[in-house]
């Protein structure tokens, strides 16, 4: 009944429902992925090596997450509509069991437990995007979905820090009846058990959100006419897609290789970077949530504007403009910070806004518009996962480079230099690939035979 109502619902109501379901699903996924980053494990090193224990844990989860993206190239592009919801639930159940193991084992073995936590989670994004791509309102829907991981990462880390200090237990104690039980059970949660407990808090909401998401109707005939049909892809289909856009995809993947690493470094070490900027967590308990909320509104506003661009070629150009503007903002914001024109809070806000303006379109509107403008056979999910697999491989490499090659530089100092590098590289790759895809689009249109009526 709900699906039938959604098929006939006005566009604003349908969009509001779809955004709520998708946003909630992916927001809850981050409660299983990112809380561990709120812990510092200060002064502890992995197996008595030069690699800090937190760095080893971060890298291990990224390796699992990156491998999940490689697996997702096949799984997410081939999964049938009837199995998407059950697959989402199974992936989250796997991730929570890994967090329980994370709480049980000694510190050095946490590196293995968090690997198995990341292994299923990388496929959640593709399964959610499947519900949203190929619609006339895809930009708006995907922009709303993208805000989930911008906001959620900061919020779950702030909850994690509060939980380790007893703040969440104090909140629970204000809830009648059951709250007293939860408050007594929680108390001050250790760094080891905090991720699993946060995951359990968000599990009921995740199940509700997946149910809501699964009620969405298939793309309508008018959606298909505007954005082309999106079907599952075979191995031959995937290979043909890569061959069709090889040079442009290489440029995009080079940029994404370093951009994903940049976003991940900023995300995983925000606590340490803010400490280095003079914003200790004890005095700024919601600072990460504040910066990421501002970033989310900025990104969603920029991407939502693409909904008003009906021409797919212009929409593709608009996506490139947003991405290029994002990496340009990285460099400009850092120059303003070093000139003391802005403080550390606003610099972190600008680096977040710039990196997400460049990063978010990769996982949402960019490939949707590319396929719609070229009418290439394929799905945005496949292209997203191809880029993601390469991107998270880069994230592992940069993490290791920092600790093994530039261990004498603080995370704040490394991040500042990386910001300038990302700005220059990103502008070069995005402008070059934009020229390639726009020329390729014109050539493909010229070669398309005209059928006489």
Decide which of 305 and 93 is more confident.
Answer: 93
For the chain, what is the domain count? 1
pLDDT, one tens digit per residue, over 201-234 is 899 999 999 999 999 887 666 655 555 555 566 6
Domain assignment present for 205: yes
Domain assignment present for 351: yes
pTM for the full predicted model: 0.70
Domain assignment present for 447: no
Q: Domain of residue 145: give its range.
A: 2-225+232-441
Indicate the pLDDT class of residue 452, thresholds 50, 70 and 90.
very low
CATH number for the domain spanning 377: value is: 1.20.1250.20
Domain assignment present for 122: yes
Domain assignment present for 450: no
pLDDT, one tens digit per residue, over 227-264 is 555 556 666 767 777 777 788 888 988 998 999 889 88
Tell me the DSSP string of 346-378.
HHHHHHHHHHHHHHGGGGTHHHHHHHHHHT-SS
Instruction: Please state, in angstroms and as integers, the Cα–Cα distance from residue 241 to each residue in 360, 374, 434, following that order.
Output: 22, 11, 18
Domain assignment present for 161: yes
Domain assignment present for 453: no
CA distance 121 to 441: 34
Of 7-21, 233-247, 267-281, 387-401, the one with minimum mean pLDDT is 233-247
Nearest to 266 by CA among 52, 41, 58: 58
Give the end-to-end CA distance of the chain in Å, rounded to a whole number.
Answer: 42
Mean pLDDT of all residues in 420-432: 94
CA distance 397 to 437: 29
Domain assignment present for 65: yes
């Amino acid at each position: 009944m709900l699906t039938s109502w959604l098929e006939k619902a006005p566009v604003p109501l349908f969009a509001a429902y779809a955004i709520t379901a998708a946003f909630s699903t992916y927001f809850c996924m981050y409660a299983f992925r990112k809380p561990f980053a709120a812990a510092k494990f200060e002064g502890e090193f992995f197996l008595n090596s030069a690699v800090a224990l937190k760095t080893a844990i971060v890298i291990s989860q990224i390796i699992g997450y990156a491998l999940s993206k490689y697996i997702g190239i096949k799984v997410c592009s081939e999964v049938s509509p009837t199995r998407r919801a059950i697959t989402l639930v199974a992936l989250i159940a796997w991730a929570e069991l890994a967090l329980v193991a994370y709480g049980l084992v000694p510190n050095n073995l946490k590196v293995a437990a968090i690997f198995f936590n990341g292994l299923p989670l990388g496929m959640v994004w593709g399964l959610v995007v499947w519900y949203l791509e190929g619609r006339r309102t895809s930009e708006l829907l995907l922009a709303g979905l993208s805000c989930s991981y911008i906001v959620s990462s900061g919020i779950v880390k702030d909850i994690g820090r509060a939980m380790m200090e007893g703040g969440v237990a104090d909140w629970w104690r204000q809830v009648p009846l059951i709250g007293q039980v939860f408050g007594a059970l929680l108390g001050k949660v250790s760094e080891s058990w905090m991720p699993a407990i946060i995951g359990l808090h968000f599990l009921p909401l995740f199940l509700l959100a997946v149910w809501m998401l699964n009620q969405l109707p298939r793309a309508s005939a008018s959606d298909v006419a505007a954005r082309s049909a999106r079907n599952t892809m075979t191995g031959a289909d995937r290979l043909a897609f890569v061959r069709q856009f090889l040079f442009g995809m290489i440029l995009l993947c080079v940029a994404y290789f370093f951009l994903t690493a940049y976003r991940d470094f900023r995300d995983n070490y925000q606590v340490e970077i803010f400490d280095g900027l003079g914003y200790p967590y004890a005095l700024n308990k919601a600072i990460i949530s504040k910066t990421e909320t501002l970033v989310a509104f900025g990104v969603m506003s920029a991407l939502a504007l693409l909904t008003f661009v009906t021409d797919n070629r212009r929409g593709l150009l608009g996506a490139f403009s947003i991405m290029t503007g994002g990496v340009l903002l990285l460099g400009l914001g850092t120059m303003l910070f070093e000139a003391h024109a802005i403080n550390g809070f606003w610099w972190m806000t600008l680096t977040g806004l710039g990196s997400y303006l460049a990063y978010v379109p990769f996982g949402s509107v960019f490939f949707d518009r590319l396929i719609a403008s070229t009418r290439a056979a394929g799905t945005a999910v496949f292209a997203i996962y191809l880029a993601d697999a390469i991107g998270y491989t880069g994230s592992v490499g940069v993490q290791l480079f920092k600790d093994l090659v530039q261990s004498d530089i603080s995370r704040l100092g490394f991040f500042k230099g990386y910001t300038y590098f990302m700005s220059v590289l990103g502008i070069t790759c995005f402008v070059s690939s934009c020229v390639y895809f726009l020329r390729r689009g014109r050539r493909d249109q010229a070669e398309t035979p005209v059928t006489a009526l």
